[in-house]
Chain A
């Protein structure tokens, strides 16, 4: 079903909520460039003159969950507002993912601990000496 931008975003939010309630199924999103094209026959039937320049390309966005399908065509005019709202919907809805790995935190913690341990073992006196004379400290440490 082709909707306008704001309707599309509302329906997209509903799709994500529905998925959360059922806790199954996948929300699929797709985007592709699409240039709206009206055939000359239709224009003649409508009695409108053909536009002189090529129509501006749009971005077709589709979303679906099971049987429900929605879509919207975004123009360059609506783009800035749409991608902000779209980003908000995405970030708010795709929340069942894992947060930053604890392994990464453990690695950094281990590295920090390893760095701290030799510094502590070398003694505080050395560190005090190294502060005023940084050049002499490096050969001492190596």
Chain B
């Protein structure tokens, strides 16, 4: 899946970012943190919760790369809470704003 996405994006140039669903939570969390450290002002995390289906879909993007993750496990809600707390802490600290890029 990831290989086909990579070939798709290279043929289209930069217009179509790949949308791979990552396999594990840890991969997604690591990718999100990395994305944020590379581009703190543009990176955003999106969570979509569907109560009827009991599903959470997560997306982390800096408008160039996209990482997605789906889950229906209750234990991932706790992990999500930790990840959001971590990201919020990064986002409100001065160390990771545009000033560090200058």
On A, residues with C-beta under 8 Å from B are 16, 19-20, 23-33, 35, 54, 56-59, 61, 74-76, 79, 82-83, 86-87, 90-91, 93-101
Least Cβ distance of A97 to chain B in Å?
4
Residues in B with CB closer than 8 Å to A28 are 46-49
Q: Which residue of B lies closest to A35 (CB)?
A: B97
A56–B92 CB distance below 8 A: yes
B97–A57 CB distance below 8 A: yes
B97–A98 CB distance below 8 A: no
User: Is B10 engaged at the interface, CB distance under 8 Å to the other chain?
Assistant: no
A23–B51 CB distance below 8 A: yes
Q: Can you list 24 A-B contacts with CB-CB less than 8 angstroms, sorted by A residue number?
A: A16-B51, A19-B49, A25-B52, A26-B48, A26-B49, A27-B51, A28-B49, A29-B49, A32-B43, A32-B44, A33-B96, A33-B97, A35-B97, A57-B91, A57-B92, A57-B93, A58-B91, A79-B88, A79-B89, A79-B92, A86-B84, A97-B73, A98-B74, A99-B74
User: Is B78 engaged at the interface, CB distance under 8 Å to the other chain?
Assistant: yes
Residues in A with CB closer than 8 Å to B47 are 28-30
On B, residues with C-beta under 8 Å from A are 40-41, 43-56, 71-78, 80-81, 84-85, 87-94, 96-99
A26–B81 CB distance below 8 A: no
